[in-house]
Amino acid sequence: MNYIIKTRLCYFLLWLFFIFNCFDAFSQEHIVIHHKLHIPEICIDSTKSITVKVFVTEGNMIGKVVFEEVYNNLNCKTNHVNIKIEMQNFLNSIEWFDSNYFIKFIINDDVYEIMKFFPNRLETPLPLSNIDFTTGYQKNTKQLNLLDFAEVIEMEKMFKCGENVFYGGKYYSTVKIGNQCWFAENLNVGTIINSRNHQWTDCSNIEKYCYKNDEEYCDTYGGLYTWRQSMCGSIVEGSQGICPVGWHIPAHDDWTTLERFICEDLKNPNCNNIFPYGNELYGLQGLNEGNMLKASNGWTDSISSLYEDIYGFSAVPGSATSSDGRFLILGQHTGWWTSTTGVCTAWIREISNNEGRILRYHSSGVVSRSVRCVKNID
């Protein structure tokens, strides 16, 4: 018995020794953080040098800059550069429970966000206060330790609206209208099937209709999708659906925001009443906002030559299908699904030939319409 007690006491003392030594080690401040920034699209050869600006922002990624360092003429290695960030004084001054802090990098004037800590993946953007620098793991506490900081950080260039988005094997143009970022063309992803056949909702195998069952029309006007296919079977407003990551099927109110912006920009009266949020109003709305969304070609009405596409939305008259799979006449109108449901239906936005207003209505999910994507708000 004495042997057992002595043995346990010995283990207990060893445990205390370990705890106090580890606590002392974790409480030490380290002056330098060593990074290996993984940026293969920039560092394509070892003869290139780059400039890296390091920022820490408060509150969010575009918040107040509270720390800034510039590192000029860094030599590229194989797909990366090595960098040492001296942050001791700054880190000592932070009250971690007062706010969140985020780190971002600007490399040759392009903003990059941290996509991955090796060996552990983290959510982005990266809040400094949620990282335990002793392991690289994400955690919920606000403590910051700087021991054994993760060696490699994989970087990805942050998207700027107006740049192209590569998705499903093709590039899509984008456009900023007001405070929203929209695809500037209809989505065209998936495998073409005959319009008489039913589209499924499984987004591991997206299906689409093309006018006259001809793929070439999808190349010009985008694919046509039933509502359930466009939403990947979801009924949640604002779902990603068949859009790429970071984008979603526009909700009814996303379209209203777009309509209101154009209405106000054109100095039209009573825009808030003409384009109200919510699902109560049905039918044609506005004055000439629909014409402002139309592409400058493809329309067959008498005033199509007047369409200037001044906002860059480039709406093309890409047809649609009825519930029995028949195609509507090409060149006369176009409609887009929203992610907002009605009673056993889903809301649609539509613009037509010889009509400057925008039609809002809901329809059965078995008909097909075009799809636009709108960027998530970070």
Using a 10 angstrom Cβ sphere, with 0-12 exposed, 13-18 middle and 19 or more buried, the burial of residue 46 is exposed
Residue 145's pLDDT is: 32
Backbone phi, psi, residue 258, to 5°: -60, -45
Which domains, ranges and CATH numbers included, belong to the chain? Answer: 29-157 (2.60.40), 165-375 (no CATH)
pLDDT per residue rounded down to tens, the chain (378 residues): 444 444 443 443 333 333 333 333 333 333 344 555 666 666 666 777 778 787 777 777 677 888 788 888 877 776 666 766 665 566 666 665 566 667 777 777 776 655 444 333 333 344 444 443 333 333 333 333 333 333 344 555 678 899 999 999 999 999 999 999 999 999 999 999 999 999 988 888 999 999 999 999 999 999 999 999 999 999 999 999 999 999 999 999 999 999 999 999 999 889 999 999 988 888 999 999 999 999 988 888 767 667 789 999 999 999 999 989 999 989 999 999 999 997 678 999 999 988 999 999 989 878 999 999 999 986
Tokens at residue 154, please? 């994989």
Residue 276's pLDDT is: 94
Residue 322's pLDDT is: 92
Residue 354's pLDDT is: 85
Cβ atoms of residues 249 and 186 within 8 Å: no
Q: Where are the alpha helices (DSSP H) in 87-231?
A: 88-93, 215-221, 227-230
Give the C-alpha separation, 371 to 218, whole Å: 12
Own/partner long-range contacts of 48-53 (Cβ < 8 Å, ≥24 apart): 48/75, 48/76, 49/73, 49/74, 49/75, 49/76, 50/74, 50/76, 50/81, 50/107, 50/108, 51/107, 51/108, 52/81, 52/83, 52/105, 52/106, 52/107, 53/105, 53/106, 53/107
Cβ atoms of residues 194 and 200 within 8 Å: no
